[in-house]
Structure formats: C-alpha cells, structure tokens
Chain A
C-alpha cells in the first residue's frame, strides 16, 4: 500500500522519549538556569530557552514519526515548512516592533494611544 508502515517498536520508542522529555521539562522548570543580559534593556532567560527547546524537540518527534513526515514527499514537507516559515515572519516582525520600543528614548506617535489600552499597557 502507498503509506509507509512504521514499526510499532518505533512508535513505542517515540512515546517513551516524549514522556521522558515531559518529565525533563517539568524538572528543569524548577531549577534556576540564570540569565544573560543583551544590551541594557533585554535578557535571555535560559529557563525559557530550555522549555522551548524541549517543546520543539517533542514537536519534531511527533511530526516526524507519529505524523509520518519522515516518510512523506518533498511537496508535503514544503507545505509544512511554509506553515512554520509564515509563523516565523509574524513573530519576527511583531517582535521587531515590541522589543525595539523605547530604544529611541523619545515619545512616538503611537504612545498617544496608550490611555486607550489602560490598564493593560
């Protein structure tokens, strides 16, 4: 048949890896991995980095094995990569605004809108 048949052994191995990574991310979240300053205003929080790296690793395991992408065609992979690429564009462009606010030190036209969003800003 057309679909690739993944051995049950592989599914069980991926399943165990996913459970171990869930335990690991939970355990690591209670430890302080520290922070590294970048510039004057921002820091890299290594706990957040660790949590996201583990989440991405779990996602890759699910996508590659449970969702059979390891055995899928180039066209299907292109659609998947495009989905995440567009997500990355949204995140990158949005953060380029949010994280760069205040770098100029002068009031910006949009700051006139701040009272509108009070008390959430």
Chain B
C-alpha cells in the first residue's frame, strides 16, 4: 500500500492502515479478557463444585439474598452498558464532546448506583443479619456450616466483581477527562472502544452471578 507523506495523525507509524491498528487494539483487549474469563472461571468452577457438594445449604443461603436488589442491579448494569455503547457510538459518528461526556458520566453514575445498592443495602443488611463469615456470622439454623461456605463465595464473588467495577469507574473518569480535552473524534476513539469491551465484560460477569447466587434454588421455597 502506498504511503502518503502526510498520513493521518490518528494512525501510529507501526501500522499500515487504520483497519490494522483497530484490529490490533481490539485483539489485544480480547486476549486480556480471555485471561479474565479464566480468572473469574476459577471462582465459578469452585462455586459449581461446592454447590454440588452442599446443595441444600447453598439453596438455604440464597434465600437470605434479596432478589429485588439483585434484579435491580442487573437492570442498572444493563443500562450502564447501553450508555457506554452510546458514548462510543457518539465518538464514532462525530457527535459533540459534550454528548460523549454526558454518556460517560451517565455510565459512571449507573456504575456508582450499582455499588451503592450492593454495599449500602445488601452488604450492610448481611452484616446486621450476621451473615459475614469470619467477622460476624451468627446464623446457627440448618446447614449452618454450608451456609457459611455459601456466604464466603457470595462475598468473594460479588467483592471481586465490585473491585472490577471500581477499576471500571477509574477508567471511565480518565476517559471523561480525555473527552473533555477533545481527544476523541471519528478517526480516533480506540480508548473508548477497548474500555467499552472491559465494561461490557464486567456486565457479563454479573449476568452470570445474578442467577447463580440469587435465583437457582429459589423455587424450593422454605428458607427462613
């Protein structure tokens, strides 16, 4: 391919074309996400095994969780994925920087709302109910040790997910500053796109955590 003397400033010199640059950026991010699949996969695998070994205790444990909060948080994260996708779309189609910033800030607010519901309503409630293994666990009903194991998984999985949310919020704050400085245009929006991949990935993790922790076994009734 013929090089022109004045190539686009959005194309860094090691790439032949913008298509190749775009492909390399996305591929790199997906390789990172493949490692994240295995990272979360290990925890999911352990959850599957221990749930199979302590089925009744895990069903008992999931009855202590509030489905309303879980479902609300799922909806909140889905909304944040939409606003993230719209922020990228705004940059791709050359919308004003205030449009991009609006969508990024909305994404951050929804992410913060998720964490607020998680910590302020759910974890705080679990603490007052005495369901925090190691620190404050007072449940002594049926399957007490298995329920404790369930809550170990619950706090580790939701905590690991929340950590990813905090990292995502940091990335979004950086993107907002970059957008404010007018760094994004239809020629260059790679940081937005790869960060979007990360944000959607974290959403997908929650899409699996919600049924696994809150829903399966729910129909058996009982509980407390």
> Are the CB atoms of B92 and A5 closer together than 8 Å?
yes
B interface secondary structure, majority: helix
> Are the CB atoms of A87 and B211 closer together than 8 Å?
no
Contact with A along B35-70 (1 / 0, CB 8 A): 001100110010011101100000000000001000
Classify chain A: how many residues form its interface, as a range. 35 or more
Contacts of B125 in A (CB 8 A): none
A23 to B211, CA, bound (A): 12
Q: Identify the interface centre among B19, B30, B86: most chain A CB within 10 Å of its CB.
A: B30
Q: Which of B110-118, B155-163, B201-209 lies at the binding interface?
A: B201-209
Given A1-B18, A99-B52, does the pair A63, B219 have CB atoms closer than 8 Å? Answer: no
From A5, A15, A29, B218 is in contact (CB under 8 Å) with A29
B129 at the interface (CB under 8 A from A): no
Contact with B along A89-119 (1 / 0, CB 8 A): 0110011001100000000000000000001
> Are the CB atoms of B81 and A66 closer together than 8 Å?
yes
> Are the CB atoms of A67 and B200 closer together than 8 Å?
yes
> Are the CB atoms of B92 and A29 closer together than 8 Å?
no
The minimal Cβ–Cβ distance linking B213 to chain A, given in whole angstroms, is 11
Given A1-B186, A87-B37, does the pair A98, B53 have CB atoms closer than 8 Å? Answer: yes
Mark out the residues of chain A between 15 and 73 whose CB falls within 8 Å of any chain B CB in the assembled complex.
15, 18-19, 22-23, 25-26, 29-33, 45, 47-48, 51-52, 54-55, 58-59, 62-63, 65-68, 72-73
From A8, A58, A84, B207 is in contact (CB under 8 Å) with A58
B102 at the interface (CB under 8 A from A): no
A102 to B82, CA, bound (A): 48
Contacts of B197 in A (CB 8 A): 67
Chain B residues bordering chain A, tally (CB within 8 A): 59
The minimal Cβ–Cβ distance linking A10 to chain B, given in whole angstroms, is 9
> Which residue numbers of B lie inside 8 Å of A, CB to CB?
17-19, 21-23, 26-27, 30-31, 33-34, 37-38, 41-42, 45, 48-50, 52-53, 67, 71, 74-75, 78-79, 81-82, 84-86, 89, 92-93, 145, 149, 186-187, 189, 193, 196-197, 200-201, 203-204, 207-208, 210-212, 214-219
A-B contact pairs, 15 of them (CB 8 A): A2-B18, A11-B86, A22-B71, A22-B75, A23-B71, A26-B215, A54-B211, A55-B208, A62-B200, A66-B196, A68-B193, A75-B23, A86-B37, A98-B52, A119-B145
Known: A29-B218, A62-B81. 10 other contacts (CB 8 A): A3-B22, A29-B211, A47-B216, A51-B211, A66-B85, A66-B200, A68-B26, A76-B30, A86-B37, A91-B45
